Structure formats: C-alpha cells, structure tokens
Amino acid sequence: MLIMVRKINKRVHVNSLCSFYKKNRRGQLKVQQMIFMLLAVSLFFILVGLIFLSVRLRSIKETATNLNEKNAMLLVSKLANSPEFSCGHVFGGSRINCIDFDKVMILKDKKQYANSGFWGVAKIEIRKIYPNDRGNISCQKDNYPGCGLITIMDKKVNAMPPSSNFIALCRKESNEKMIYDKCELAILMISSEDKRT
C-alpha cells in the first residue's frame, strides 16, 4: 500500500509538473505573440511616418520651387531697371526697361560676379528680337555688337521655364557725322532653379 501511495504521489507530482510546463509554454507563446504584434504595429507606424515625411518633403520642395519662380518673375521686371543693367541717363533721360548693351557685355565677362548667387536665379539671358539679322549668334568680344544672344549667367542646373520681359537694348553708335543712340528690341529671360528633382 505504501508503494502504491508513493507511485500515486509520483504520478501526481509528474502530472503537476507537466501541467505547470504546459501552462508555462502557453504563457511563453502568448508573450511571443505579444512581442511580434508590438513589432508589427511599430513597423506599421514607422512606415506610415516615413510616407508622411516623404510627401511633406515633396510638398516643401514644390513650394520652394514655386517661390523661386515667383521671385524670378519679380526679378525680371526689376532687373532691367537695376543699376547693373539699366541705361540710366546715358541715353538722354531716364528710360524704363532699357538695358545698356555695353554694361551687359562687361558684366558677362565678370563670371565671379554673375555666378555669385547675387540674383538668386539659375540663368539670365538676353535675346535680340528685332532686328534679328544675326540669329542666335552668341555675343563675344570679337563679334560685338553683331550678335543676337547674350548669356550673362548660366548655372548648369535643372531650371524652370524662363520668365521674360520685353526690353530696349541700347548702345552708342557712331558714323562720320555724329554719335547717336541705337536701341533694339530684345527680351530678357530669367530662369529659376527647379528644386523638385
């Protein structure tokens, strides 16, 4: 009888240990499931946050590009009357939207000044419209004034379509009898940097 009681005690003890281990395993499985669930939820929120940040950054880049384009449009109207470009009183009085061809040619050669970021744009170009007998010949010292395209500044970057304004491109000319003012119709084009890419 004593032996039987010991066997029953051993079985009870073994059964209680087995049930303890089974409960412990279930608890471990639940803890592992909870950890995996927390990781999945955390990764989900991280991905949602990254998507939100990328959309927001793209929006900020577009806003910056739009502001640069608006600044270029304002600058194109102001640039023709700036001291660096304007005719001033050299041609017999104050003229609006008049650019001195001689000043522009000198400024074109000063690359450190033109590319310093002073104007905050990517490209400044002047193209003669009338008379356009020289076509798209780029202006250099050796072919001045018989040229049709003056590139003052050109940062080799992605640029927006140019903003433009009509101007009078004036210079002093002379013949055997006198010195006179010669003005031609031109267009001033300014492009801002495209920051969306």
123-130, strands of its sheet edge to edge: 98-100, 163-174, 179-191, 123-130, 149-154
Q: What is the mean pLDDT of the chain?
A: 77
Which band of pLDDT confidence, cut at 50, 70 and 90, is reported for residue 41?
very high
- The two three-digit tokens of residue 114, written as one number: 């033109």
pLDDT digits (tens, 9 = 90+) for 143-152: 877 888 888 8
pLDDT digits (tens, 9 = 90+) for 69-88: 777 677 777 777 777 787 87
Give the Cα separation of 182 and 109 in Å (integer).
22
Residue 172 has a pLDDT of: 83
Q: Which of 2-11, 47-56, 130-139 has the lowest mean pLDDT?
A: 2-11
